[in-house]
Amino acid sequence: MTRNDVAEDRAVALLRAADPVTQPDRSTRTPSSEALLARIVAGREPLPARRVAPARSWVLATVVALAVLALVALPGLRLLGGWPGDGGTAVAATPPPLVSAEPVRAGAAQELRAIARRTGRLPDDVGAGATAAVDYVSWSLFTRVDGVDVTSRVVPQEVSRRLGPDGTGTTTTRLVEDDGGTRETRVDSDGWPVERLPTSEAGMAAELSTRNPADPAGRVNAVVETLLERPAGPAARAAILRWLADTRGVASVGRLADRLGRPGVGFTVESAASGLPTRYLLVVDPADGRVLGYEEMLTTDPGRLEVPIPSVIGYVAWRGARYTD
């Protein structure tokens, strides 16, 4: 058996173990895996419009994410299907880290709770319609391993998600090409009911805990996944901030501007749960408690990724989230 055969067998075993049909553990689902699925779909020829069952789309997102992890970890494997937008979506360098003029400071939990108190007193600001409308921009690192050659690209995308109360709706993704052109795809969904987020601390803790937040990074990812799907009104945002305040190791990096230039306060946790030491950052508007942005940055070790240290390997910047008619 060749070295490539052994690597491929190990990758297949990883994917089989991650299949939620036989191993229904949701801990591997991350915003990065959902973004990766959208990029791979966008890189192929458009298919006729169809409805995608939520369980199947989730399985595919998880398996694709684990496939890429296997590609990074195991030499000799190839990514099937080519690059998304092959022929023009490459970006040579990862985005520069967000920079704060302030040092990392203690008291992040108290600061989050103070923002939560202010936020909880605000009037509703997400609307009373039936359709959840969430718009955001993101960049994610896409890595291919061909034998001993490793190539990493940052792929920008714009996402608009519209989901009705019964879970039906669409997600539209636009990839920005180097030449200024765009590649757009739309995926129809027929998913779980889209219920409004709970407003109590106990209710929000129960909601976020269903996403299996096993460590500080998992807790942050639980918040991000939730906000990619549903708008959060002031009371819900206050409950989310209190959940974050209870996260082990949460720190404040002070005031900074997010990827869209909006002022906020940065809160971070550090974890190697993904396999590489990573800093997870949330940018929060201190006036109304909105999560403006999120990003992941490798801090000390790039593994086999062809990027410098430190390197931002993915970010999300929310443009808006409301309930509309």
pLDDT digit string (tens) for 203-249?
999 999 988 778 999 999 999 999 999 999 999 999 999 999 999 99
**Higher-scoring residue by pLDDT: 158, 14:** 158
Does pLDDT of 133 surpass 60?
A: yes
Question: Which of 87-91, 109-113, 279-283, 290-294 bottoms out in mean pLDDT, i.e. has the lowest?
Answer: 87-91
**Higher-scoring residue by pLDDT: 3, 60:** 3
**Residue 12: what pLDDT?**
36
**Residue 189: what pLDDT?**
83
Does pLDDT of 20 surpass 70?
A: no
Q: Which long-range contacts (CB under 8 A, 24 or more apart) does 78-81 make?
A: 78/144, 78/145, 78/146, 79/144, 79/145, 81/40, 81/43, 81/44
**Residue 101: what pLDDT?**
77
DSSP string, 7-44: HHHHHHHHHHHH-TTTS--GGG--HHHHHHHHHHHHTS
**Residue 99: what pLDDT?**
84
**Residue 143: what pLDDT?**
64
Could you tell me if 220 and 30 are in contact, meaning their C-beta atoms sit under 8 angstroms apart? no
The arrangement of strands across the sheet holding 263-271 comes to 51-52, 182-190, 168-176, 149-163, 131-146, 311-324, 291-298, 278-284, 263-271, 251-257
**Residue 182: what pLDDT?**
80
Mean pLDDT of 104-111: 89
Does pLDDT of 111 surpass 50?
A: yes
Question: Which of 42-51, 104-113, 203-212, 308-317 bottoms out in mean pLDDT, i.e. has the lowest?
Answer: 42-51
Tokens at 295, concatenated: 């990003």
Mean pLDDT of 144-171: 80
Does pLDDT of 323 surpass 90?
A: yes
pLDDT tens sequence across 28-58 = 444 444 444 444 333 433 333 322 333 322 2
Mean pLDDT of the chain: 74
Q: Can you tell me the distance from the alpha carbon of 129 to that of 199, in angstroms, rounded to the nearest whole number?
A: 18
Write down the pTM of the prediction. Answer: 0.71
Q: Can you tell me the distance from the alpha carbon of 133 to that of 131, in angstroms, rounded to the nearest whole number?
A: 6
Mean pLDDT of 2-24: 37
Q: Comparing C-alpha atoms, which of 112, 126, 153 is closest to residue 238?
A: 112
Mean pLDDT of 106-123: 96
Could you tell me if 77 and 149 are in contact, meaning their C-beta atoms sit under 8 angstroms apart? no
Residue 145 — very low, low, confident or very high, per pLDDT cuts 50/70/90? low
Does pLDDT of 71 surpass 90?
A: no
**Which amino acid, residue 188?**
D
Q: Can you tell me the distance from the alpha carbon of 14 to that of 21, in angstroms, rounded to the nearest whole number?
A: 14
**Residue 183: what pLDDT?**
85
Strands 182-190, 51-52: pairing kind: parallel
Does pLDDT of 91 surpass 80?
A: no
* Phi and psi at residue 68, to the nearest 5°: -70, -40
